[in-house]
Amino acid sequence: MLSAALRTDLIHIEMDTNQKRNFTALSPTAALGRKIGINQYISFSYAQSFETPTLSELSNAPDGSLGFNETLDPVKSNNIELTYRGKHFIKNDYKLNWEISGFISDSNGEILPFELPEFPQRQFFKNSGETKRKGVEAMVTLIGNILEWNNSATFANYTFKENTEITALSGKKIPGIPSHHFNSQIQLKFRSQLNIRLEYQHIGSLMANNNNSVKVAPYSVLNLSGVKQLPLKDGALKLFAGINNLTNSLYFDNIRINAFGGRFYEAAPTRHLYMGIELSL
């Protein structure tokens, strides 16, 4: 199967008669897919993408003035992806789904945040040259009568290209993006309308700034939660509870990219319990 499309974008953003930006782009896409066996498929796709700055990015001018950042341009990317997917039915009504994708993405005009000492607690944004993203993503899901087990993983390399116009960034890793991550979630769905979920997440190391002088260590988190539905005559009552960070891991919940004065880190909560009741009428 072969498919292709051509998309045109004309985006106009205006604050007042003196503050306006126009962004235009043509974005072609093409995909080729083929069935290679029983419930197995392979596909290849190419796409050009166009990502405009968000309003919050545009509205922060580095000189501190009100109005749009006139120097901020959209990100344009060329994306290639090869995907193999399939499914297999196992005895006792279990189904196994899987998908493996390899991708390469070249972008021009990567938008990244930075801070200035004159304006503390305020983020600004700029285009930071050409970047390359390449890696592999995998997903496996096992579905049964009461069991659903989802697994996903990414192993990738995200770097500034060697020929980027910003020489100091050439070959550096793009900050704020982990090189790999893994997520596994097991959910039990009982006929008594009780759901129990156990989720494990591992996030690989990442860089906190453009020049890669600050590296954030990897971490893992385990969460446990449960939900019980109680039908009522004219509605439903839902009871839920859980324990987040079950192993009491110490990690950073948010990293402020290119923060001034080394204020990169925002600590995550340690082990904590939550519970609640929800009434629907």
Distances (CA, A) of 9 to 28, 52, 71, 215, 237: 11, 10, 20, 38, 46
Q: How many residues does the chain have?
A: 281
| pLDDT digits 0-9 by tens, 114-143 | 888 877 778 888 888 899 999 999 999 999
- pLDDT for the residue 31: 96
Show the domains of the chain with their CATH numbers. Answer: 2-280 (2.40.170.20)
Cβ neighbour number for residue 117 with a 10 Å cutoff: 7
- pTM comes to 0.85
pLDDT of 7 strictly over 70: yes
What's the first-to-final CA gap in the chain, in angstroms? Answer: 48
pLDDT in tens, 222-266: 999 999 999 888 888 999 999 999 999 999 988 999 988 888 999
> Beta strands 194-203 and 124-127: pairing type?
unpaired
Q: Is 243 exposed, middle or buried (0-12, 13-18, 19+ CB in 10 A)?
A: middle
The rounded Cα 144 to chain-centroid distance in angstroms is 28
